[in-house]
Amino acid sequence: MKAAAASLIVLALLIGVIPQFTDCQSQGKAIQLPNGKTLPMKCHWTARAEIAVAVPLLLSGILLISCRHRESRRNAALMTIVSGLLGILLPTVLIGVCAKPDMPCYALMKPTLVLAGSLVVALGAGCFIRAVRQRDANP
Amino acid sequence: MNVPRLIHRNVTRNPFRSGVVFSCAFLLAALPFAVTFITEGGRASLQRVLGRLGADLLIVPEGAEVKVETALLMGKPAPVWMPRENLDKIARMPEVARLSPQVHLATLAGASCCSASEMFIVVYEPDTDFTLRPWLDQHLGRELGPGEVIGGSQVFLPNPKANILVYGSPVSLKGNLARSGTGLDQTLFMTSETAREVARMSKTRAEQELVVPTNQISAILVKLQPGTLPERVAARIAREVSGVTVIQSPALFQATRRELTGLMRIIFVILTLVWLLSVTVAGLIFSLAAHERRRELGVLRALGSSRAFVFRLLLAEAAALAFAGAAGGIALCLTLAFCFQEAIVFLLKIPFLFPPPLLLAALVLGGLLVALLSVVLAALVPIWRISRMEPAQAMRE
């Protein structure tokens, strides 16, 4: 459980940090308006939203390490699964990334988040099963 | 206690030792697999592009071969021009069965009149074309009409009913070609009629006028008569038509092939060093393990186990660890390659396509075998020595 929780903390950091350096805005790319102003591309908002996924995920990891109660671990694992799913859905369905495959957000950010999110869901499911099986005598 | 259970307990009892052997097998399988997988993926991609072109010769303006290859491989538009009269000169040659001209264009960068910025556009002539013909026959069953286009596998519209804007003119996407792992996946294909119409309308609709010269073309694809030697025709064209470079189909993308081969050579040296290091470490770990487990194995022998049984048990332990490490390494490589295939193409600047299933299976098996044989080979001597030891001697020492 501790190894899984430690992995979750690392994954939470990856989910929170990597998008900030692989979105188009960080590479100096933006939508140019006819009046000369620039707008961030949608991958920028995905990157920002991933911070909101990473923080609860980080807390879940810490909870899974520090809490010994079955219910707490079970709930933290559930929160982990939901965070992982959101981590996948943000760049794929909910907000998305730029459409061109040569954009860094499409080539790097999206697959990294999908991969990390899948690992989070798998680890969360593992932790949930272990928490459910955890004996009451050893809460 | 049966043998698999005994192996499982021995492996899990010493996680550090097992972890080191697992890591060695992981590296032994993952590194050569990753390198051959990427180079074979590159070759598969080039092969698909060549197959799609379907030409024996590609004729481009003199000195523009790298530009055209880059345009085809990376989808970076590079309009190059040569006189259209070259087409007639080559068509008169008896060795030529079919030939088709192409015009290479590009959309404007960051302009509101173009849906995609700097998109590579290939303009073909339907009467002579043999590159898109098989796809059109199979998928559309007719020619492309005015204002209709085909896209590479990554040309799409968020709203399927919408049109793509090219120089202010809406064009309708009629289908997508299969993925090639190159820049052609982001290319738009249109007929010369559509291109002329877009150019005509661009005078009023686009931020910048599209110019499609009527007496200029970018490339000529040539299909030769059966039995004709391509090198002989290439030499004749080079002799009789000035200002052109003839690229024979197998020689196309030579620069990329050389890059892949060069990459393979450099990595081969690194791989050899990693292999030697991993085998040495695995051998060392098994020597230490054999020394540490002398008493335990002596007891096993004293309880009636034969030398052969102890030998097989230790060998199976080594093989199990090697297999697990190798399988883990190959699975990780495959997952990363699957997730980051676009990054391989656009960040490493090499074409990439998943190799055909049979080749992929051979690569996986090869990776597993390399790791398995290497670890077993490294473990063989220490295991053989410990299994030969008399029980009394093993327990006393």
Find, among B212, B219, B176, B218, the residue nearest to B197 by Cα.
B212
Output the pLDDT for position A49.
96
Closest CA in chain A for residue B76? A102
Output the pLDDT for position A139.
45
* Chain A interface, Cβ < 8 Å to B: 32, 34, 99-102, 104, 106-108, 111-112, 114-115
- The answer to whether residue B340 neighbours chain A at the CB level (below 8 Å) is yes
Residues in B closer than 8 angstroms to A112, CB to CB, are: 339
Q: Domain map of chain A by residue range?
A: 2-133
Per-residue model confidence as pLDDT tens digits over A52-91: 999 999 999 999 999 888 889 999 999 999 999 999 999 9
Looking only at the bridges linking them, the beta strands covering B188-191 and A31-32 are: unpaired
Per-residue model confidence as pLDDT tens digits over B64-109: 888 888 787 777 787 889 999 998 899 999 989 999 999 999 888 7
Q: What's the rounded Cα separation, in Å, for the pair B78 and B66?
A: 10
Residues in A closer than 8 angstroms to B340, CB to CB, are: 107-108, 111
Per-residue model confidence as pLDDT tens digits over B285-299: 888 887 778 888 888
CA distance B237 to chain A (A): 37
Closest partner residue to A107 among B112, B185, B346, by Cβ?
A: B346
Output the pLDDT for position A9.
95
Residue with tokens 């972890």: B19
Q: Higher model confidence: residue A29 or residue A122? A: A122
Residues in B closer than 8 angstroms to A37, CB to CB, are: none
Please give the order of strands across the beta sheet that includes B120-124. B164-166, B169-176, B148-151, B188-191, B120-124, B96-106, B219-224, B57-61, B244-248
Residue with tokens 């040539």: B222
The number of angstroms, rounded, from the C-alpha of A86 to the middle of its chain's C-alpha atoms is 7
CB atoms within 10 A of CB B176: 16
Q: What is the value of pTM for the model shown? A: 0.74
Cβ distance of B340 and A32 shorter than 8 Å = no
CA distance B221 to chain A (A): 28
Residues in B closer than 8 angstroms to A104, CB to CB, are: 347
Looking only at the bridges linking them, the beta strands covering B244-248 and B57-61 are: antiparallel
Tell me the pLDDT of chain B (397 aa) as tens digits. 577 888 888 888 888 888 888 888 898 889 888 888 888 888 888 888 888 878 888 899 998 888 888 787 777 787 889 999 998 899 999 989 999 999 999 888 777 777 777 888 999 999 998 888 888 888 888 888 889 999 988 888 777 777 888 898 899 988 888 888 887 888 899 999 999 999 998 888 888 888 888 889 999 999 998 888 888 899 999 888 888 999 887 777 777 777 777 777 787 888 888 888 888 888 888 888 877 788 888 888 888 888 888 888 888 988 999 999 999 999 999 999 998 888 888 777 778 888 889 999 999 999 999 899 998 888 888 888 888 877 777 676 5
| End-to-end Cα, chain B, rounded Å | 26
Closest partner residue to B112 among A34, A114, A115, by Cβ?
A: A34
Structure tokens at B182: 């190159």
Contact B171, B210 (CB under 8 A): no
The percentage of chain A sitting over the pLDDT mark of 70, rounded to a whole number, equals 95
Q: What's the rounded Cα separation, in Å, for the pair A10 and B275?
A: 30
Q: What's the rounded Cα separation, in Å, for the pair B170 and B163?
A: 5
Output the pLDDT for position B287.
85
Output the pLDDT for position A34.
66
Per-residue model confidence as pLDDT tens digits over A91-110: 999 999 988 877 889 989 99
Structure tokens at A20: 């900030």
Q: Domain map of chain B by residue range?
A: 3-47+256-396, 63-242
Distances (CA, A) of A86 to A50, A55, A127, B158, B324: 8, 12, 18, 22, 32
Output the pLDDT for position B397.
59
Contact B372, B322 (CB under 8 A): yes
Closest CA in chain B for residue A104? B343
Q: What is the ipTM of this complex?
A: 0.76
- The answer to whether residue B186 neighbours chain A at the CB level (below 8 Å) is yes
Cβ distance of B347 and A107 shorter than 8 Å = yes
Residues in A closer than 8 angstroms to B347, CB to CB, are: 104, 107-108
Residues in A closer than 8 angstroms to B185, CB to CB, are: 101
Cβ distance of A107 and B343 shorter than 8 Å = yes
Cβ distance of B343 and A32 shorter than 8 Å = no
Cβ distance of B156 and A99 shorter than 8 Å = yes
Closest partner residue to A114 among B154, B339, B342, by Cβ?
A: B339
* Residues across chain B: 397
- SS3 category, B60: strand
